Amino acid sequence: MSGVTIFGRDGDAFVPTAHAVGPWDPAQLHGGAPSALLARAVQDLAPELQLARLSVEFLGPVPLAPLELTARIVKPGKRFALAEAQLTAAGRPVLLARAVLLRRSAPPLALPEGAVWPDGLPCEGPREGQAKPSFGGSDPDAEGFHITGMDIRYAGGTGFGGERSLAWFQLAGPLVEGEETSPAGRAVAAADFGNGISHVLDFRTHLFVNTDLTVTLLRDPVGPWVLLDARTRIDPAGIGWASSVLHDQRGPVGFAQQTLFVQGR
């Protein structure tokens, strides 16, 4: 997958490549790619702070078209700051985010046993994981964020679909051309896959799209790989959620939550 870039630049605009496209429509982006752009933007506003929570509202489909990004601090602070960011396409807002940024304690706090999330993984690491068939189907030339934009390795004896799925994710190239992707950006890019990998309905018979994404990080992931331990539940009324625990190769780093809109095709 050498040469893969998710977004190029054209002045102030971010130009998505085919590696940013999602599974529902070839003219629309996967939610993880633009959400990672928002994480990048708010983190850049206060790099000395930890991106502790990012909540993204999907206002509509994100087109395969140049995107404009704005970001600002709405509550400055040395210990706690609040930021907002927005992506627009042709003047239309498509994603809106709010982020909490918190001071990192230095030196680290001395905490009692039971207060710290213990290290360890629920499955094998990415090198032992399996690159099983998933979103890409059988088309060897297919491109998309879920196919060529990410290297995906399933673990724990799970695969694509089922009420629980464990999968490792690594970006196949830089999020933005010429830039190193931040740890928080890698986490958010992977987090939006929870609904897809743990789907409980057939793509051919049902539409199940997330209307939002909330990622909470206790710390930045270390290394290029992020594991999702994902589960999906759906109510007959057509509302569901996907919930994921995020890990790096050392252990857990945070959570992701998605609200799902579900309907028959």
Spell out the residues 6+ positions from residue 134 whose beta carbon is closer than 8 angstroms to its own: 146, 152, 154, 159, 160, 197
Count of Cβ atoms closer than 10 Å to residue 262 Cβ: 18
Coil/strand/helix, residue 19 = helix
The pLDDT assigned to 2 comes to 58
The pLDDT assigned to 137 comes to 57
Sign of CA dihedral 158, 160, 161, 165: positive
Alpha carbons 76 and 83: distance in angstroms, whole number? 8
What integer is the mean pLDDT of 85-100? Answer: 97
The pLDDT assigned to 187 comes to 98
Alpha carbon distances (Å) from 105 to 45, 98, 217:
19, 23, 15
What integer is the mean pLDDT of 162-181? Answer: 95
The pLDDT assigned to 1 comes to 45
Chain segment 59-84, per-residue pLDDT in tens: 999 999 999 999 999 999 999 999 99
The pLDDT assigned to 203 comes to 85
What integer is the mean pLDDT of 213-225? Answer: 97
Amino acid at 238: G
pTM of the model: 0.93
Angle between helices 32-45 and 183-191 (to 10 degrees): 150
Model confidence at 48, pLDDT cuts 50, 70, 90, reads: very high
Alpha carbons 214 and 255: distance in angstroms, whole number? 8
DSSP 147-180: TTSEEEEEETT-BSBSSEEEEEEEESS-SBTTSP
In the chain, domain spans: 7-104+131-264
Sign of CA dihedral 185, 56, 239, 255: positive
- Is the bond into 76 cis (omega within 30 degrees of 0)? no
Q: Is 237 left (phi over 0), alpha (psi -120 to 50) or beta?
A: alpha
Kindly tell me if the per-residue pLDDT of 89 is higher than 60. yes
Phi and psi dihedrals of 263, rounded to 5? -155, 155
7-104+131-264 belongs to which CATH class?
Answer: mainly beta
Kindly tell me if the per-residue pLDDT of 114 is higher than 90. no
Q: Give CA 24 to chain center in angstroms.
A: 17
Rounded to the nearest integer, the mean pLDDT of the chain is 93
